[in-house]
Structure 1
């Protein structure tokens, strides 16, 4: 091995250690000791108003971290001179309740005199995401904190950075591995589709024009395909949306994997996790073992929360989550 590969390896090890090392549990213990309670109360109130809070906040966290890291850049509103991330076509389906949850939680945190302008929007989003998962039946876990908010948010930066509904296993693995996430992490995080909904146009090709030989995707359960066609007839209004999980759409659970075994994954990128023999064993294991899935999910969420974290002079704490200071 030459000197350059050794330097690269050393640098990558050092970089991954320092980034996650700057995040820690109880980061705000001496800065804003009540931050988790304050955020939790806002999220609970929002959850009681509408269940959409759960998938909306969860997706917001994913879409934020996959583009320029977990720095709340996805929340920035476009201005006259800048088209922000949230207005990229891949982000237009992000429900407003996710943004609203973070903005309300930030306001509540800043209303506490000991916390004013001391907690980042990026950390509030990470905490709110944990809280909505727990409220919908998923695992609760300790969140590493200490992220700063980013200085940049452009629609152009989103291009090619988010998983698509038609992705193959290779495409999924490639995109997740670029963020230091393994195939197991990717499969665990895909279970975010255990809650929430999708617009019909995201999977219409699977039930109407999959191929010349097979108008309906043959990896789709036949009865489920008929059910989807009845809920999403041809030329349906594109704003019509259906549950991602046909069985327990309001519970974050391992039924997502049981659905894949029954060939009831809504997207190609869901069903491929069972169809591809490289990932099928993991799907089978988690379909039968909720505890094993939850453990893997917490590990994957913790790793996701470390992606591209801004610290030091690379970020700041926004006064308004939707605008740069």
Structure 2
């Protein structure tokens, strides 16, 4: 029976994997070279304005792209508003009162539509904006692969189940990344996006007062950092109080995030688990990135490209939305 199941799996993989490879092959860095040659400069200028107005927006856009790709693939489904017949992803637990930057994408999309009407997908705009968010924060540049189409649906249920949570342990994180075709190295590398941005008190309060139901703080937190966080986040109330995800250089994309993990200064459980869980496969990568910003900067684009390749809609699949919030 086991042999038969294995044979079925091999057949299924033979059918599915070429389709995935074909879809990824259709994504190219020069997809709009003739149809909308100005798209990259338009997106970059829009992100420059957004980050100049609010530095935190770089992290918000980067996170928006991440939360899009982990649900149905990188298809701009997270940008869809609820309708009478569809509950979208914006109000799912990991996104409600959390993901932001929709108005920035709207503004960039409007500018792109003025220059190239009906040509550039919202999914591609979000992918480009995420790259520019990193660059504008001092991080590495990479050539974004383009050619995605926008989905006609969103999934509230998948947003609740697929997205990693700030309180999850290392095994769960590894499993959720693997489900998207991403490696353990991708997990650690993409977590480095937390070198910029902020998080709400509600996401880390349990670590400060009642970790894992112990009525005690998380022992992996450094004492000084614990005291600092307790000043920001009381044991009750203040759910929306913000703390930087990386306390040393919170608006600059660098490798300090990993150095902080070595010293018990990861803000979220999901951050500190990369090192304090003693999972050899993640600890070694954290140590490498803490020692070498060059290594982190080299690998981050590779992992971002891998994430951007999650189940893209291409060709006749999906559409190019005129308004990112609603299907045409």
The TM-score with structure 2 as length reference comes to 0.94
* Contact 1:56–1:94 (Cα < 8 Å) also in 2: no
- Matched position secondary structure for 2:199: strand
Shift of 1:83: 2.1
* Contact 1:23–1:145 (Cα < 8 Å) also in 2: yes
Q: Over residues 167-217 of structure 1, what are the superposed CA-to-partner deviations in whole Å (9 max), with x where a residue is unaligned?
A: 111111110011110000010001111111111111111110115666011
Who is 2:37 aligned against?
33
- Matched position secondary structure for 1:236: coil
Distance 1:203 1:253, change over 3 A: same
Q: Does 1:277 align with 2:279?
A: yes
Who is 1:286 aligned against?
289
Who is 1:94 aligned against?
98
**Structure 1, unpaired ranges of 5+:** none
Range moving further from structure 2, 23-32 or 86-95:
86-95
- Matched position secondary structure for 1:301: helix
* Contact 2:124–2:147 (Cα < 8 Å) also in 1: yes
Who is 1:210 aligned against?
211
Distance 1:211 1:142, change over 3 A: closer
CA distance in 1, matches of 2:94, 2:7: 41
Shift of 1:78: 1.3
Range moving further from structure 2, 8-17 or 251-260:
8-17
1:235-254 paired onto structure 2 within 5 Å: 235-254=236-255
Who is 1:185 aligned against?
186
Q: Does 1:319 align with 2:310?
A: no
* Contact 1:60–1:94 (Cα < 8 Å) also in 2: no
* Contact 1:120–1:148 (Cα < 8 Å) also in 2: yes
**Structure 2, unpaired ranges of 5+:** none
Q: Over residues 260-301 of structure 1, what are the superposed CA-to-partner deviations in whole Å (9 max), with x where a residue is unaligned?
A: 001101111111111223211110010010111111111110
Shift of 1:8: 3.1
Who is 1:42 aligned against?
46
Distance 1:323 1:214, change over 3 A: same
CA distance in 2, matches of 1:9, 1:318: 32
* Contact 2:93–2:160 (Cα < 8 Å) also in 1: no
How many residues end up aligned between the 2 structures?
Answer: 322
Q: Does 1:155 align with 2:156?
A: yes
Distance 1:274 1:235, change over 3 A: same
- Matched position secondary structure for 1:313: coil
Q: Does 1:62 align with 2:80?
A: no
Q: Does 1:11 align with 2:15?
A: yes
The root-mean-square deviation of aligned C-alpha atoms, in Å, is 1.5
Determine which of 300, 316, 325 is the counterpart of 2:303.
Answer: 300
